[in-house]
Each structure stands twice: as structure tokens, then as C-alpha cells.
Amino acid sequence: MSTAAPPPPKKVNRIGLEVLNYKGSKTTLCAGCGHNSISERIVECFYELGVEPYTVAKFSGIGCSSKSPAYFLGLSHGFNGVHGRMPAIATGALLANHTLKGIGVTGDGDTASIGIGQFMHLVRRNLPMIYIIEDNGVYGLTKGQFSATADLGSTLKTGVHNDLPPFDCCALALKWGATFVARSFSGDKKQLQAILKTAISHHGLSVIDVVSPCVTFNDHEGSTKSYSYMKEHEYMLQELDFVPSYEDISVEIPEGGVMDVQMHDGSHLRIRKLDRDFDPTDRFAALKMLEEAEKKHEVLTGVLYVNTNKPTFLELLNLDDAPVATLPQSKVRPAKSVLDEVMEELR
Amino acid sequence: MSTLEVSPAEPLSGQSSHSVINDFSIQVATVNGSGSQTANSVLMRSIFQMGIPVSGKNMFPSNIAGLPTWFTIRASKHGYIGRRKEIDFLVAMNPETAREDVMKLDSGAAVVYDEPLKLSELRSDLHFYPVPFDKLVAPVCPDAKLRKLVRNMIYDGIVAWVLSIEMDEIHTALVKQFGKRKAKAADLNWGAAKAGFEYAAKTFTKTDPFRVERMNETAGKIIIDGNSACALGAMFAGVTVVTWYPITPSSSLVESLIGYMKRFRHDPETGKATYAIVQAEDELASIGMALGAGWAGARAMTSTAGPGISLMSEFIGLGYYAEIPTVVFDVERVGPSTGLPTRTAQSDILFAAFLSHGDTKHPLFFPCSPEECFSISIEAFEFAEKFQTPVFVMTDLDLGMNNWMADPFEYPEKPIHRGKVLNAEDLEKLGGFARYKDIDGDGVGYRTLPGTNHPSASYFTRGSGHNDKAQYTEREDDYINNMDRLAHKFEVMRQHVPAPVVRIADNAKIGFVAVGTSDYAVRESCDQLKNEYDIDASYLRLKAYPFTEQLTDFIRSHERVYVVDQNRDGQLLGLMRLEYDPELIAKLRSVRYYGGLPLDARTITDEIIRQEGK
């Protein structure tokens, strides 16, 4: 009889789940694709925060990015919809069950071209969900055409020159009503984690534009969404630190230039500004800064805007506490006396 | 309809020697935006209250104010409430159309008109009643701003006198129309109606033959439009998510639903809503939201018309392939493109049946009356969840926007069934599930809802190729198996759709097949064919697609079957042709009307006689 040492205890999060419980199926995207890094960050963040997977619903449109919800949170329901129209599906699902935590993954083609209308209305409604744009400036799944976020003057692998200015999805989200707006880079693990965790805690619409290079079609010289371009042009606005609600909140706020934002669920986002003075609760300042950065060919990353007070679309509807989807017949079919009353009025 | 037919001018002399009782059509020609709707509703309702079967049809322009509008009221002691082409009694209030309206009348018709229009000069074979409306309205309506609106109520008083409508019933209808909250407006209008009546009594000698006489054919009945009836159906079906985008003629369906839900679907204790109604940014979004909601377990619906159906086509394909329940109300109007937005048609049938690219087909339900708008809407929600697929409720502008006499609706006794949904307990027992696996042989898999607290609850919904576990696949066998199961599911639906209404006439060689509002004209035409030509005709009214075995039997047992379509291309006929063998198809004939007005019996009868070679 051997007395082999017992296997080391499995590492679990605060609700007793392993990181494996937050993974999805194997990715089919290209090796080195920025989208895979984002999926990994999503897995880590939901695992680390101990979110119950069954309370999450995943949504996407069509494109490389939109395949990725299959690659994270396999224990959550997912819905891969039609091109550019994930916001409508997500809106309907959250109307049906407002207790779900919605997370949508989309691309720059899905959002800024075919889906710009639905994106703008999602923003206008401040639907409480996380909306991640995996932004690489090209259509990958159709082999490398420009999208509407491609920068003016950038070129395709084939040398084709882009003559039109880009949509800045963060500026659009800021202008029309999203309540948490951030930009990040798929290669920046720490920053993206802090932003994602804040978005998970946020009560309102979080729009996160993540520059996520397409290694196959848009990682060359002349691209403004490549790893090397980001290395040269990324400008980090802040150092971010996320303190979850279940951790000791009494941790002292470090001195000097640190802003503490309390999120709806009691967690905290700590924002240490770097060399540029910027208040992320000031929408106009953020818009102005984005405008200036574009002129300087800077890609600003960090938290651009946070507003924890604005009511969400679902709150405006005064819905029953329980999801309307599963209310019992006694709540959704009025009594016969009601029909009699209506019939009497029509006589 | 556009040619002017001048009747032979046989001058009328003195009083009519005969009476036409409870069997005529009144047409009121006004300008839209002039408030004539109230006067017309009151007129219709007062005849209804006298126990006489009545119908009202509003022919209005796609415009807010200033264009011609006609409202036709048909009183029929025989109970025919379809449109009748011939007008017996004209109220000419619109200077722009008055002359054409008068020239179109058959000899012997009566005309109440605004005196300055000098219409009596046009014809000598009609009965004219000139009324100085401006002179009469001034004393009863001191506020000059309201006169334009109150002026119309004067013709109610005039018509009441000429047709012997009891003024008490006009008063009752007025009070009903305005409700208790607008008692002042009711009083003002009542004054105008009385002034009209008194003027007529003092001034006119009745020369035309038309009048009403009290009957007892409407006791207990209600008056309602089809859109409101669908709305009530949706509410009692337990709808929980409603998404929509305004479009004529379907807007009033959801607007009416909003009114009812606000009254009856808030928790009495908390005041919270047991539903969500969202006006979307377009039809692409409204159907997307309805599908998202259906996926997450809501009883979801949207309501639209032709152009909206076109926009929804991509999402409907997703709903079909990913198997998501939702109900789409299509209140049909005249297409193609913008078409005639305020005119009626049944011209979305083929498009809706196969909406979206790839191999798709969808169940269509066809109510023909307010009663069926109510009951079939409830069935549609049950059906959508039972078969996990989008269901279309196909009505039209005539049914949706016009007021109809109807029997009070019956409370749904069957409890709500949410279809095959597995909860955490079920999953614990089963140990897991495969979303698209045909366990029961009916082609319908079991689903779970997001938010189900069980590790085997989740699955990934997609419009791309999937196997029975909902996993991505491009395999030939997976694709074929899935598509075959969907086809099988559609076949199973045949046993579960609302059954057709079949009326077999003894010895009939010919039969009719129709859907929806064609019913009124077909039934009246059957009587015309029997009474005028001694032709017996059977009639099968479909309530749904896919078709049932009864339709096959019906075609087999008749020599010729006339399929009635309110569209140019014979779409219902086309749908039938796709289902049958050449032997049965050879029996099918087409009767089509596509002028935008509600179908009338005479159009059908004339066409049958032409085709039968009689």
C-alpha cells in the first residue's frame, strides 16, 4: 500500500467553482487573435468575482468576434444572433428576465457598420449590460475588408487606402447615454481586467471598445489596429484598481490623485490618474479629449466615463420583481370579471 | 371604381311608393381631420342599438388632415355585414368629391348635402335634402373654433329624421362615445344633432324609400375593431413582452393593448407591471426583441404590416431555425412597397408563409372576425410555445381598423401551457438534455431558459448550422437531420392548427375556399348564387396554414373549387397549388379582387357566373 500524498486541493473561487467552470469550448479563431485574449480575461474576471454562471446570458452578432461567446462561460446560456442586431436580442431577453447579467460581444463591423443603428439605440436606452466591441478595423471572417472604425489613411494588406474617417464607438457611446465607457487593448491584461470587473459591477450600459489586432488581415505596417501601432500610439490615461464588494472596503485610498468610484453593488473602482488631468465623470471633457487624441494619432485607453446614478431602461419600465417571463398564470391572465367588464363597455 | 356612370335620368316625382326597410348603405363623404369620425360612429351605433345588423367601413387617405374620406354604414336585416358596392344614401359634406360622389349613385338614391354645393342641379333622378350646415351650427355652437367639429353632428340629426332613427338612440350613442368625462362635449354635440333633426322635420318632406325599423338582432352584441380584439386576445393569452414599431394599419393593435395592460396587468399591491411594452427603433429591432424575449421565456409578440414584414424576414429565419416562439401580427395593407397604406388586402400570404432565405415555412393563422381575433390570438401564443416557432396572425386593415358587430368574447377556459421547458428539477432527474433532439416524435425538442440554476441547463443558440446538442456543425448528416426534423415538425402542426369551417351544400358541384375577411362576401355570394341563379355552393373557410386534411377532402368532393384572394396573384391559390397533386390542382379556380376596398359579394358572384358560363 503506498501512501501517496492526497491530490492538492482544487483551486476554487468564493462560490466554490473552479476556473474550468467558467471556460467555454475550444476557440476556432486564429492563433494570436486579440479576441482570444479578451475571452481569457472574461473567464478570469467572472471566475475571480465569483459570479454564478447561470445568472449570465451571452449575446453576439455575426463575425469573428461574435463567435467568441462560445469560448467562455460554457455554463451560461448564449445567443449568437444575426449581423449587427445583437442589441435587439439582448434587449428582448433582458425585458423577459431582468435578473440576468447580460454580456454582449461584437466587432467593429457588427457594431459600427450594419449595427450602428441598434448600437445607438442600445446606448440611448442605457440597457444594463456589458457591450464589448472587439475592434480590429477589418472584417476578418470575409477576409479583410475595411470596417467603419478603420482610421483615415490606414491601408489594407493589399495596399488599399482608407479614404473615410472612422466612427469612434466610445465617443458615440459617451454622447448618447452609455453610463460606463472605456477603451482598452487586448494585450493589456491588467487594465482590461479592471475595466471588465467594473463593467460586471456596473448598473447600466457598459461600452468597452477593445483594440484587438487581427493577426491575419490587419497586423501589418499601414494598419492602425496592429500590435506595433498600439505599442507606439497607445496612451494610458490611468492606472486602474478594482476592489470587489466582498473585500475589505476599509482599505485606505492611497493619497494623491486617486479617485474612488463606488459601484452599484458596493465594489470600488480606484482610478489613479497619470500625467494628464482628467475627470471620468465629466462627459464633455472625455469627448473633447477623444477629439484631441484623434488629431494627435493617440489611442487613449482607460476609463473614459462613469456615471452610477442614471436609471437604466429596465428601471423605467417598473417591472415586477420576478422576471415577467416566468410569472404564473394568476399574474398574467386577468380574471373572467375583467373580460366581462370590457365586454360590457363595448355593448 | 373610377369611371363615372351616369344613370339614365328618370325624373322622380313626389313620394316614393315603396319602402326599403333595414336594407341599405349610407355613405358619408367628408374631409379627414374634420371630426366626422364621432358623427359616423354615433350614426352606426344608433342603428345597432335599434337591433339592426350593421357594419361600418372607413375609407380614409394616408394623410392627417384635408383629404377626402368616406365612411360607409350598411344596415342589413339579413345580417350581411360585408361591404356593399351600391350606395343608397349619400351624405355629401366634401366639396371636392361631392359632384363625383353624386354622379356615381344609382337612380333613386337619396342625398343629404351642404346647401351651397348646389348638388340638386346635377341629377333629376335622386332625392335631395339640402341643409345649410353653417347657418344651423352657429346658434348651437357659440365657440367658432369648435364649429368645424360640431357641424358634422348636424347630419346625424338630419339622417335620423330622414331614416326614422330614434333620437333617443342617437343620444345614448353620443353619451357612450364621449363617456362621462366629456359630458360637456356630449351636450354640445347633442344640441347640434337636435338642431339637425328639428330643421329636417320643419323643412323636408320625405320622398326617398329608405328607413330603419326596430329589430331584435343585436341584443347582447358588442361593437369592436379587430385590432382591439387581437389586443384583448394577447392580454388574456398572458403576453409578457410586446415590442413594436408604429405602422398603419397595425399601430392601433398595440396602442389598444397598452390601454388594456395599463388597466388590468399591474400588480394590485405593488403597482408593478407584469409585462413590458417597448416601442422599438424599427421593425428589425422589434422582431429581434420579440425573439430575444421568446428565447428567455417570455410570451412575446410584435405587430406590424407589410413593409415591417419585409424588414423582419432575416430575423424570422433565425426564429425558425433556432426554434424560438413568438407571435407576429400582420395587419395586411395594400403593397407592394409603400403601396396604399390605408387600403385593405390579403397580399402578404405567400411571403409570410415562407419568409426568410433558405428553406423556411411558418404557420399562419387567419381570423375573420373580432371573436376570432380574440380566440385565435390566444391559440397563436399557445401554438408558438408548443411548437417553438414564430407564428403569424394574418389580419387585414378591414378587420383590424373597422368597427364590427360581434358576440361577446368567451373567456379562455384552457390553462396556459408554456410548451416543453425543462427546469432545474427536471434537469436533475434527467441528468442533462439535448436542445434539438426529437424525444417525443413530434419534431419538438426540449428547451431551457437562461437563468435556470443547473449546471446542465445552458446551451448555445445560433442561426448557424447546429446538431441536436446545439453545437456548431457543418456536417452534411447533421444539417440534413436537423432540416428533416423541422419539416416533420411542420407536418405535425397540421394536426394542431385551428380547423377550417366547412359548410357543405347538398348537391353542390362548386365550392369556395377563402380566409379572413373574405368570409362576409363569400357567404353573401353563396346566397346570391342560390337565390338569383339557383347555384349551390359549398364553402370551406381556412383558419390556418399548414392546411388540414379537410381541405383535401373538400377539393376531392367538388368539381370546381373557387379560391378567393384579395390580391392580384392568387396567393392563397398559389399556396394550395404547392401542396396538391395535379389532379386536385386541376379543380382549382381563382377569384381575385385587389382594388384596396373590402371585398363585396357582388364582385364574387359576377365572377363565378362569368367562369361558370351562365
A118 CA to chain B: closest CA distance, Å? 7
> Closest-CA residue in chain B for A332?
B238
Peptide bond into B307 cis (omega under 30): no
Mean pLDDT, residues A250-269 taken together:
82
What is the per-residue pLDDT for B18?
Answer: 86
SS3 of B336-377:
CCCCEEEEECCCCHHHHHCCCCCCCCCCEECCCCHHHHHHHH
What is the per-residue pLDDT for B251?
Answer: 98
Strands of B463-587 (E only): list them: 501-503, 510-515, 537-542, 544-545, 560-565
Which of A:217-276 have CB within 8 Å of B?
Answer: none
Instruction: Sort residue B354 into left (φ over 0), alpha (ψ -120 to 50) or beta.
Output: alpha
Number of Cβ within 10 Å of residue B468's Cβ equals: 17
What is the per-residue pLDDT for B2?
Answer: 40
Residue A253 in this model has a pLDDT that exceeds 70: no
DSSP B537: E
Segments of chain B scoring below 70 in pLDDT = 1-17
What is the per-residue pLDDT for B14?
Answer: 61
List the alpha helices (DSSP H) in A160-208: 169-176, 189-201
What is the per-residue pLDDT for B4?
Answer: 44
What is the per-residue pLDDT for A42?
Answer: 98
For chain A, what is the mean pLDDT? 95
- Side-chain-side CA neighbours of B84 within 13 Å: the count stands at 24
> Closest-CA residue in chain A for B462?
A80
Which of A:116-175 have CB within 8 Å of B?
Answer: 117-118, 121
Number of Cβ within 10 Å of residue B245's Cβ equals: 24
Which of B:68-97 have CB within 8 Å of A?
Answer: none
What is the per-residue pLDDT for B346?
Answer: 98
Going by DSSP bridges, is the β-strand pair B326-334/B300-304 parallel, antiparallel, or unpaired? parallel
What is the per-residue pLDDT for B7?
Answer: 46
How far is the C-alpha of B243 from the C-alpha of B289, rounded, in Å?
Answer: 7
pLDDT tens by residue, B439-470: 999 999 999 999 999 999 999 999 999 999 99
B555 residue type, one letter: I
Residue A265 in this model has a pLDDT that exceeds 60: yes
What is the per-residue pLDDT for B174?
Answer: 95
Mean pLDDT, residues A131-140 taken together:
95
Strands of B517-568 (E only): list them: 537-542, 544-545, 560-565
Contacts of B221 in chain A (CB under 8 A): 347
Q: What percent of chain A has pLDDT over 70?
A: 97
CA distance readout (Å), B242 to A150, A187, A344, B254: 37, 42, 26, 8
Q: Is A102 on the interface with B (CB under 8 A)?
A: no
Confidence of residue A1 (pLDDT cuts 50, 70, 90): low
Annotate B153-178 with b (16+ C-beta within 10 A) or e (fewer).
bbbbbbbbbbbebebebbbebbbbbb
User: Do the Cβ atoms of B296 and A333 come within 8 Å?
Assistant: no
pLDDT tens by residue, A143-161: 999 999 999 999 999 999 9
CA distance readout (Å), B491 to B193, B328, B443, B575, B584: 58, 21, 9, 15, 20
- Top residue of B425, B449, B469 to mutate, by most chain A CBs within 10 Å, is B449
User: Do the Cβ atoms of B458 and A321 come within 8 Å?
Assistant: no
Mean pLDDT, residues A49-63 taken together:
97
Grid coordinates of B17: 311608393
A334 vs B264, B291, B300: nearest CB: B264
Phi, psi torsion values for A334, nearest 5 degrees? -60, 160
Residue A43 in this model has a pLDDT that exceeds 60: yes
Q: Is A347 on the interface with B (CB under 8 A)?
A: yes
pLDDT tens by residue, A66-86: 999 999 999 999 999 999 999
How far is the C-alpha of B565 from the C-alpha of B130, rounded, in Å?
Answer: 41
The gap between the terminal CA atoms of chain A, to the nearest Å, is 90
What is the per-residue pLDDT for B395?
Answer: 98
Residue A311 in this model has a pLDDT that exceeds 70: yes
Query: Do residues A53 and A78 touch, judged by C-beta distance below 8 A?
Result: no
Mean pLDDT, residues A25-41 taken together:
96
Which residue, among B350, B96, B46, has the nearest Cα to B214 in the 3D structure?
Answer: B46
A343 residue type, one letter: M
Instruction: Estimate the share of chain B in helix, then strand, then coil, as percent rounded to the nearest 5.
Output: 40, 20, 40
